[in-house]
Amino acid sequence: MKKQIAVIRGDGIGPEIVAEALKVLNRVGALYGHDFAYTHVDMGGCAIDKWGEPLPDAMLRKCIASDSVLLGAVGGPKWNDVPGPMRPEKGLLRLRAGMNVYSNNRPAKIWPQLANASPLKPSVVAKGIDFIIVRELTGGIYFGRHETTGQEGQRTATDVLTYSESEIERIGRIGFETARKRRGKLCSVEKSNVLDSSRLWKSVMHRLSAEYPNVELRDMLVDNCAMQIVKDPSQFDVIVTENMFGDILSDEASMITGSIGMIPSSSLGATTCGLYEPIHGSAPDIAGMDIANPIGTILSAAMMLRFSFDMPAEADCIEQAVGLVLDQGLRTPDIFDGTPGCQKIGCREMGDRIAGALCPL
């Protein structure tokens, strides 16, 4: 099968981790007879430097015209003083909105090989960590009006949080559908004791609940959820939440699995053209040092094969290769904890080892 993939290397460690994911995709293509063709797209700080804006129209069009998009990471201190609407992150938000990928799926699952890397007590980890955060991605405070007015010393900054019933309903349905195919438990996370948007969120989730009798719906306030994720993560199957809460909770959820470097994500809308990216940032402090963990990006490529290209065997093959390499004790520094028998390796070698461990199932 021929697939056109838009590739955004981005900033910081982005180019390094994406190179490893492409190495793995090329090997999968060779093993299974697929032709993965890549179109390179500039986005983020590198696009600001080259084109004067974080995501030029032509770049967005390339992404929309592709079969899917694979992204490394964007941003870095070099662009810290760029005005708000021109920041590298704005390119990412514009891409998500332009592709209309409103549903972001972020799995928090512990690899048994990395149980020691979790900062939680072994007795808590032993109960199991395997849940998914379904994050609304194209609405809420990220996309409301942003404004700073007034004179220095007396300025006022405003960020507006808006959700419509239809925006909540479409992500709610993804939450219920995801839970229905798993253990049937959906936790809707909001701040309905304070926010109108959260009260609307909660009421829509309860209306939808009647259509999904096999899914048990539970409401949770976001502050309590942050606590419950570290207290007993085994209680969660699927969490559905709005954009900013999902951003924050997914970093927390990733950390309890050992390293944020391991976690992939998919973002989808009404079509099969999705956006796939690791959930970590551009880590400019370690850029170019060949010590970044490419696994989150490699697993994002696997998600692309599974969810956008209907290639489940190929996706399983990548996930199995990651497992094999972890079984061999190979670790990038972020997941290396000195366990006897484990060996610290760099980003490139991790990519080589995973590509080398691919074996059609």
Asked if residue 188 lies in contact with residue 207, where contact means CB atoms within 8 angstroms, the answer is no
Q: Which of the residues 228 through 267 are near Mg ion (CB under 5 A)? A: 247
Of the pair 16, 242, the CB lying nearest ligand IPM is at 242
Q: Which of the residues 235 through 254 are near ligand IPM (CB under 6 A)? A: 247
Identified catalytic residue from 163, 191, 202, 237 = 191
Whether 212 is catalytic is: no
d(CA 347, CA 19): 10
- Residue 24 touches ligand IPM, criterion: CB under 6 A: no
In the complex, residue closest to ligand IPM by CB:
89
Asked if residue 197 lies in contact with residue 162, where contact means CB atoms within 8 angstroms, the answer is yes
The kind and range of the H/E element at 151 are none
Query: Least Å distance between CB 279 and Mg ion?
Result: 6
d(CA 358, CA 361): 9
Angle between helices 295-307 and 312-327 (to 10 degrees): 160
Of the pair 141, 325, the CB lying nearest Mg ion is at 141
- Interaction mask 75-114, ligand IPM, x per CB under 6 A: x-------------x--x----------------------
- Residue 42 touches Mg ion, criterion: CB under 5 A: no
Instruction: Choose the one of Mg ion, ligand IPM, none that binds residue 237, judging by a C-beta under 5 to 8 angstroms depending on kind.
Output: none
d(CA 25, CA 67): 15
Instruction: Choose the one of Mg ion, ligand IPM, none that binds residue 92, judging by a C-beta under 5 to 8 angstroms depending on kind.
Output: ligand IPM
Whether 223 is catalytic is: yes
d(CA 290, CA 287): 7
List 131's β-bridge partners, or say none: 108
d(CA 183, CA 337): 32
Query: Least Å distance between CB 92 and ligand IPM?
Result: 5
Residues with Cβ < 8 Å from 115, sequence gap 6 or more? Answer: 122, 125, 258
Instruction: Choose the one of ligand IPM, Mg ion, none that binds residue 47, judging by a C-beta under 5 to 8 angstroms depending on kind.
Output: none
Q: Catalytic residue numbers?
A: 142, 191, 223, 247, 251
Binding site for Mg ion (CB under 5 A): 247
